[in-house]
Chains A and B, each alone.
Chain A
Amino acid sequence: MNMEKSIKEPIVKMEGIVKTFPNVVANDGIDFEIYPKEIHALLGENGAGKTTLMNILYGLYKPDRGTIYIYGKKVNIRNPSDAQKLGIGMVHQHFSLIPYFNVLENISIGLKELKINLNTNKIKEKLDRIMQEYGLQVDPEKKIEEMSVGEMQRVEILKLLFRGANILILDEPTSALTPQEVEELFKSLKSLVNQDKSIVIITHKLYEVFEISDRITVLRKGKVTYKGFTKDTEQEALVEAMVGRNVVFEEFNRKETNYTGSLKVIGLTVYGKGKIPIVNKVSFELKRGEILGIAAVAGNGEKELIDALFGLIKANEGKIFLDDKQIDNKPTKTRTQLGLSYIPGERLTRGVAAGLSLSFNSILHDHWSDPYIKNSLLNENEIRKFARKIISSFYVNANSEETLAKQLSGGNIQKFIVGREILREPKYILAVNPTSGLDVGATQMVRQALIEMRNSGAGILLSSEDLDELVSLSDRIIVMYKGEIVGSFKRGEFDKLRIGSLMMGKKLN
């Protein structure tokens, strides 16, 4: 171990941090330290609680329990201003910049050292000095909306340095950068550390961790599962800390299935801005009576793939066949009529019409067909009956089928959506994080329902942030990284370490 480093006192010490959101313990007794002059990588799966922990340090959330010490002194960080006074600065996953303002204006917002007069010359001088000192260059007069992501990133960091931040927290700073921009960023980070700054970097990419960090903390489901110096860390151990051990036990009764028919995808490609592929030549076949899991860190094209399959966005290239019928040129309505169902990740905006009753929400896909329509009019009795069936079968906690969707809690909305998509008896289901935000009992119920659908012949494409869920439900798992399928595993060969490594950009040899 590096003796010099281990002797130093931490400048930030978070102790026993607990933060609970409705239905989720985001941070469950976390201890976290930052030492002077280090780059500290904070890792963990989607939803592990990384952003929450850092938001607490930055004063955006109040922890339910726990203590924070800065330079050994107990502090109470009530808001970002308090954090800034303590020398803490944070760059969020979504930038905190006003696109319409230029760099100088963005830096001056809420700036304590300005009294009244917006003295741009003074600000510009100081900014020039800082840009010199740390080798980060931007044009002070340029508007943010005219900048590349890399430039915006620099503005964010400059903003923190301008306010005298000694501890810089960067939440997934590289996710939208080009490889060259990442390299530049890392160069600046190293020079910052040489000038006595400490940095926390959240990332999902393994090679970045080993390239840039001195120390690593891993979170998993709100708890710390690994702490150590980067140079003493084995990749395997790291991935295991993130995804958990490979414990295999069958909890569901999965039948042998042999149905004909499949959802076939051939060379599907979706372009983003500037013709960069978000989904890149993806091909697979989902059979009926099978659950096919997609493992991916959020933002690697898994969302766009499913959107394209359901017809919410248009695929630029490739073909989709549903039971040998080509559907890539068909609208969503046709796809649902052919037996496709969709459990969306954004439940409030995509899963329900929040201002309508549960009855109407129960027939969002089917309001044009029997038995919900009679003589061109809505058949309210049948609709209510169906809504009541969803409510009782999936234990949705609602007063009646006339309750508005938005009056339900998030978990109950989720149960309602899953129930609707399953009870309409589709041939294929596209499910995105179907159990997110559900308590233990409801999670089990939904998983059981998906297995039963599979056993009775539905093909299910399951995209989940929870690798354990994928492993316990799927018949096969494909891994997506940067829009491509980079690995495929059969049940019985699931290896969370290998899957996790692939998700984080490690090539398998």
Chain B
Amino acid sequence: MNESLILLLIETILIGMVPRAMPIFSAALGETVDQSAGILNLGVEGMMLMGAITGLLVDYYYHNIVFAFLAAGAVGILFGAIHGVLVITMKLDQTVIGTALWFVGWGLSGVIYAAIFGISSAPPTVQTLGHIYIPYLSSIPFFGRFIFGEDPLVYILIVTLIVVDYFLFHTKQGLNLRTVGQDPRVAEIMGVNPYLYRYAAVIFGGLMAGIGGAYLSLAIVGSFYFDLTAGMGFIAVALVYFGKWKPWRVFAGTLIFGAVYVFYFMMENIYPKIPYEFYQMLPYVVTLIMILIIGTKARAPASLALPYVKGE
């Protein structure tokens, strides 16, 4: 391969990886906040699927992409709230409930889809989310489109990332939330209401998972099919470990995942002889290796997945 081809390859990856990373990143950012408050949400996958189908339905029937995302976010919040009642108030096992929510979202999204569009007909399509090309800047070679030519939601999510990072590490409320994740008893003794913070966290987690799912159906695929997310929710959970509960590191992790994803699309075209499934496996294998290398040293919030029972 000559130099210009490699440059082209890199540019393609740069341009392609951001949208590919976004659904996972959105969900992973929510999961980061969830886990920082001591809640393990294994239901992200299900919540993403519910967001994806909701977003698609609204956009398909009302042709309003803003409403579509809002509706997906609302369904995410609803699922987050249900999650909260089950694991915070009723103190049920977080692993079991998370798995149950995954199944519910997975099955329900498929059923809704089949009930409305049928099984055999061609999948409904919508226009994918348009990009903003900032004049001049987006024409800068190599980096132009990567930085100045993304769709609006990418910029919104980046702003959210900055806000969440600032919230967690530079505000009192963020410190309170992380305390609840470390030791809710201490939080209570220091005058912080652990239940309140945990509910706020699960609701944010649900919102971001719903948006992430809708991003996949509305900005990338422009459609929905059964099991659309194909494990991305679990990758999101894994990348929170990789990111050691720091939003910027989690973001970096999702970009790596996105890059590998784009890379496999390209290699598939260059070397079509290798089975397609092998390529499809790559991003997941890379994630696994990333976690193995870095995740072993990660230290989870001390009260992760433990319910808080007052007065014990």
Chain A residues packing against B (C-beta within 8 Å): 60-61, 79-81, 84, 90, 92, 96-101, 105, 108-112, 114-118
Contact = CB atoms under 8 A, between A and B. Distances in A.
A117 B185 contact: no
Interface residues of B, number: 22
A100 B175 contact: no
Given A81-B191, A84-B191, A109-B187, A98 B174 contact: no
Given A60-B311, A100-B299, A109-B179, A116 B173 contact: yes
A109 B302 contact: no
A118 B170 contact: yes
B115 interface: no
B174 A118 contact: yes
Contact of B190 (A110, A114, A117): A110
14 contacts: A60-B189, A79-B191, A92-B189, A97-B186, A99-B302, A100-B182, A109-B175, A109-B179, A111-B172, A114-B172, A116-B171, A116-B173, A117-B170, A118-B170
Contacts of B189: 60, 80, 90, 92, 96
B169 to A, nearest CB: 8
Nearest to B169: A118
Contact of B188 (A80, A98, A100, A101): A80
B109 interface: no
A461 to B, nearest CB: 30
Interface of B: 169-176, 179, 182-183, 185-192, 299, 302, 311
Contacts of B179: 98, 101, 109-110
A97 B175 CA distance: 13
A317 B182 CA distance: 38
Contacts of A109: 175-176, 179, 186-187, 190, 192
Given A60-B311, A109-B187, A117 B171 contact: yes
The 6 closest A-B pairs by CB, nearest first: A81-B191, A110-B190, A110-B192, A110-B191, A114-B172, A109-B190
Contacts of A101: 179, 182
B175 A108 contact: yes
B182 A108 contact: no
A146 B156 CA distance: 40
A165 to B, nearest CB: 13
Contacts, number: 62
Contacts of B172: 108, 110-111, 114-118
Q: Which of A81, A98, A117 has the most CB of B within 10 A?
A: A98
Given A92-B189, A110-B172, 4 more contacts: A60-B189, A96-B189, A98-B186, A110-B187
Contacts of A60: 189, 311
Contacts of A116: 171-173
Q: Which of B169, B190, B299 has the most CB of A within 10 A?
A: B190
A61 B191 CA distance: 14
A80 B173 contact: no
A61 B312 CA distance: 11
A80 B175 contact: no
A92 B190 CA distance: 12
A61 B190 contact: no
A110 B176 contact: yes
Contacts of B192: 109-110
Given A105-B175, A117-B171, A117-B172, A98 B183 contact: yes
A116 B170 CA distance: 8
A103 to B, nearest CB: 13
Contacts of B182: 98, 100-101
A92 B179 CA distance: 17
Nearest to B174: A118
B187 A118 contact: no
Contacts of A100: 182, 299, 302
A212 to B, nearest CB: 25
A96 B186 CA distance: 5
Contacts of B169: 118
B311 to A, nearest CB: 7
A6 B68 CA distance: 73
Nearest to B180: A109
Contacts of A117: 170-172
B163 to A, nearest CB: 12
B180 to A, nearest CB: 10
B272 to A, nearest CB: 50
A80 B171 contact: no
Q: Which of A97, A108, A118 has the most CB of B within 10 A?
A: A118
A99 B302 CA distance: 10
